[in-house]
Structures are given as structure tokens and as C-alpha cells.
Amino acid sequence: MRVLVFFDLPSVTTSEQREYRKFRKFLVKSGFIMLQESVYCKLALNATVANSIVEKVKRNKPKEGIVQLLTITEKQFSKMEFVVGEKKTDFVDSDERLVVL
């Protein structure tokens, strides 16, 4: 099983930034890996372990913001599709306008 954590925390004031960093460090120290910014994932051996992970996250959640938890099976997780687009830039990767002084 996998436990996914999605969060959207305010980070305008210094205290909010501190809470954000504290929560993120908690996730990393607890064995979560980052899938995307504000999306973390942890592997659980069974439903009992997954429930204990969920309870631990609930106990350490910040006072403000949104934290969402989703528990899925490994089969469901393996069906995740990665859609990646082409990277477009406005920069020219050539030296035709290079001026040597």
C-alpha cells in the first residue's frame, strides 16, 4: 500500500514559513519521498501500517492550511501515468550572435 500526502500550506509570514518547513522535515524524516512539490508518498506493508502512518501525519499537521491523505494499493499506484510535455524556451542555443572582444 502507499500513503499519499497532498498539502497546501500558507507561507506568507515568518511563522507560517517555519510551520511549512517543520511539516516538510517531518515528512522526510518519516520516510516520505517527494513525487512533486507538496505531494509526498510513503510505502506501507499493510493496511495497519498505513493507518498508523495516517494517524502520525494527523498528529503532526500544521495549524493552518490543507493536508489531504490518500491510501491506495500498490497496483493502483503502479497504474499512475506520467504525462510530460516538451520543454519550450525563448532562448536560442546557438553562438551565431556571439561577439568576441
Helix (H) or strand (E) holding 24: helix 14-29
pLDDT exceeds cutoff 70 at 96: no
Helix (H) or strand (E) holding 53: helix 47-59
Give the strand pairing for 66-72 and 2-8: antiparallel
pLDDT in the model for residue 86: 75
pLDDT exceeds cutoff 60 at 92: no
Q: Structural domains in the chain? A: 2-78 (3.30.70.240)
Contact 45, 51 (CB under 8 A): no
pLDDT in the model for residue 83: 82
Helix (H) or strand (E) holding 69: strand 66-72
pLDDT in tens, 33-84: 999 999 999 999 999 999 999 999 999 999 999 999 999 999 999 888 888 8
Average pLDDT over residues 26-30: 96
Give the C-alpha separation, 82 to 20, whole Å: 27
pLDDT band at 99 (very low <50, low <70, confident <90, very high): low
**Using CA atoms in the order 10, 13, 18, 19, what is the torsion angle rounded to 10 degrees?**
-40
